[in-house]
Chains A and B, each alone.
Chain A
Amino acid sequence: MSALRHGRLELAAAGSWTARHAKALEPLIEAAVAQAPQARAAAIHMGAVEAFDTYGAWLLERLTRTWTESGGAIEVLALPDRYLGLLEEVHRANRTPRAMPPAENRMLLALEGVGRGTAGIGRNLVVFVEMLGAIAHALVGVVRQPQTLRITSVVHHLDRVGWQAVPIVLLITFLIGGIIAQQGFFHFRKFGADEYVVDMVGILVLREIGVLIVAIMVAGRSGSSYTAELGSMKMREEIDALRTMGFDPVDVLILPRVLALVIALPMLTFLGAMSALYGGGLVAWAYGGMSPDIFTARLREAISVTHFEVGMIKAPFMALAIGVVACSEGLRVKGSAESLGRQTTSSVVKSIFLVIVLDGLFAIFFASVGM
């Protein structure tokens, strides 16, 4: 595009006025606009333009618009007829200025964030208790009329969160048991306390590590899938559809999932604990030089059924916490893919946090009842 003076400003346009060349065109147009105050009248010859699309049309429109706004007059000359419709279309666009949101005070925004976060903690608690109440209500209904329990669904979820989780749970707990034993031998050997490694492995695995590791794995593996499933059902209005057909989503979707988790977690905990003891025993044999006979004999002395009970009692409560958090987070998913991701993350983080808090509360409880 070149500019010539003839009393009024004459501009001649050439080449392609298209999306690909919009970047190069824009500064040229702006340079032309900058001359606006000097020349009252102007004309732009479009005859030599080879290609013209919405981008070109908008740039031309912008040129004429700014020119006219600053009090000048501009004429568009010789624009090929086939492009007139497009220019006309663009001429009508962008007429209403977009309302920009007023800039906000950073300090206030930060304060607002803190406030909302604090209120959010309370709301989370309410949501959790609501879901717990809804599940309890559904459970009462099932106890009254056992035939309303969706057995097929429970078994299906039991298969997914229980049976299919067995290999990975066995593997991880086996490794953890082995690692604890190895660390025990390595450090206890310095003061000749080798045999106490068995006490440590036995008590730690049965009381704490077994159930904790399994619960954390289940929260990551099954809790997240519950949230994602329910969340995408929410997004596709499946949950609304259930409700309008007269079904309670808690009965149909949530109770079977939570029940399956409550049944599966103690079983997985048991398997995990056994696998961890086995791993510990193998390491004791291979690394610590303690024969399996001595290991089992020592184990029998060190642990009692109480230790086992302490671990197993905790499991269903942890399962309930995971299930309730996973399902309530799933139902909080909004329309976007991003919100599905956010709720799934928050489901896993919250349920692991709750599992650990519960473990701490149980530790206090068992200490005070002398178990």
Chain B
Amino acid sequence: MQDAAADPAIRVRDLVVGFGDHIVLDRLDLDVRRGEILGLVGGSGSGKSVLLRTIIGLLPKRQGTIEVLGVDRDKASEAERRAIERRWGILFQQGALFSSLTALQNVQFPMREYLDLSEALMGEVALAKLEMVGLTAADGDKLPSELSGGMTKRVALARALALDPEIVFLDEPTSGLDPIAAGDFDALIATLQATLGLTVFMVTHDLESLRTVCDRIAALADGRVITIGTMDAMLASQHPWMTAYFQGKRGHLLDRGRGAGHQLPQIGT
């Protein structure tokens, strides 16, 4: 294992992203360490998804540098960029499964394009991936329109993991799932992270996922990362948005979950 602080999986420096007159991300800095699960939180419209989409290159940036696995996309050649894209997997919010392919074919798609494997091996590994995310062989033959919301997310995760990536980007992986399914999904991500040694960058609103699976949390407000650290650091923050988020009505659930050992700082009402 390399020194995590010196060689982060993702390094964002001085990033500015805007649309027209509206600046969404304003000189943002962020490091994601290798092998950690980082949760990104922030209010609606604070630019969480924009940050994710900028890192993976779907949105243009105005200034700043982004290095993923030590490669800066701006300076990289086309071949280097392709190579990086093989080393990450992305779970989109709505799953973004290809609607005319079955679940199994969706998982096989990146393998078919990038790896020159025998049909049998591809089928077996794809099926193993589906089973690792908790689906059965019978689910593999279903079309995306026949899958439930939770199953769609699972297939999308299996597809994101198809090439055994080093980094997985998850855009609200548990949104739209019931609490039990969301809990299972969190456990699944934690298991896969532990077995495959993934770096996970997760945009989420789910306080429960933040508490249970994330190693560190980054909070986004006013176009910057205002706090980064463990849940304790989040609870200790004095920023008004942070106190409202982590200690609001829903935040109190965390309190119970964490047991009596921790004293919440009393701020406001």
Contacts and interface: CB of A to CB of B under 8 A. Distances in A.
Interface string A334-348: 111110000000000
A102 to B, nearest CB: 15
B99 A335 contact: yes
A88 B146 CA distance: 31
A94 B115 contact: no
B196 A53 contact: yes
B117 interface: yes
Contacts of A121: none
Interface residues of A, number: 28
Contact of B100 (A55, A58, A93, A336): A336
Contacts of B146: 335
B171 to A, nearest CB: 19
A57 to B, nearest CB: 8
A337 to B, nearest CB: 5
B196 A335 contact: no
Interface stretch (A14-22, A145-153, A166-174, A214-222): A14-22
Contact of A54 (B99, B100, B129, B191): B129
Contacts of B161: 54
A85 interface: yes
A73 B129 CA distance: 27
Interface in A57-75: 58-59, 62
Main secondary structure of the interface of B (DSSP, over half): helix
A335 B145 contact: yes
A98 interface: yes
Given A55-B164, A335-B99, A94 B131 contact: yes
Interface string A1-38: 00000000000000000111011001000000000000
Interface residues of B, number: 31
Interface string A113-127: 000000000000000
Main secondary structure of the interface of A (DSSP, over half): helix
A58 B132 CA distance: 12
B118 interface: yes
Given A82-B197, A336-B100, A336-B143, A54 B137 contact: no
Given A82-B197, A86-B196, A96-B137, A337 B100 contact: yes
Contacts, number: 76
A148 B98 CA distance: 40
A90 B121 contact: no
Interface in B102-150: 111, 115-118, 121, 124-125, 127-129, 131-132, 136-137, 140, 143-146
A83 to B, nearest CB: 9
B195 interface: yes
Given A90-B128, A335-B99, A26 B163 contact: no
A98 B120 CA distance: 12
Contacts of A106: none
Contacts of A22: 115, 117, 121, 125
Nearest to B120: A26
B144 A23 contact: no
Nearest to A91: B128
A96 B99 contact: no
Interface in A85-107: 85-86, 88-90, 92-94, 96, 98
A85 B195 CA distance: 5
A54 B128 contact: yes
13 contacts: A23-B117, A23-B118, A54-B125, A54-B132, A54-B161, A54-B164, A55-B121, A55-B164, A89-B195, A90-B132, A98-B140, A335-B145, A338-B99
Closest CB pairs A-B (n = 7): A335-B145, A338-B100, A93-B128, A336-B99, A53-B164, A85-B195, A93-B131
Given A54-B161, A94-B127, 6 more contacts: A23-B116, A23-B117, A58-B125, A93-B131, A93-B132, A335-B99
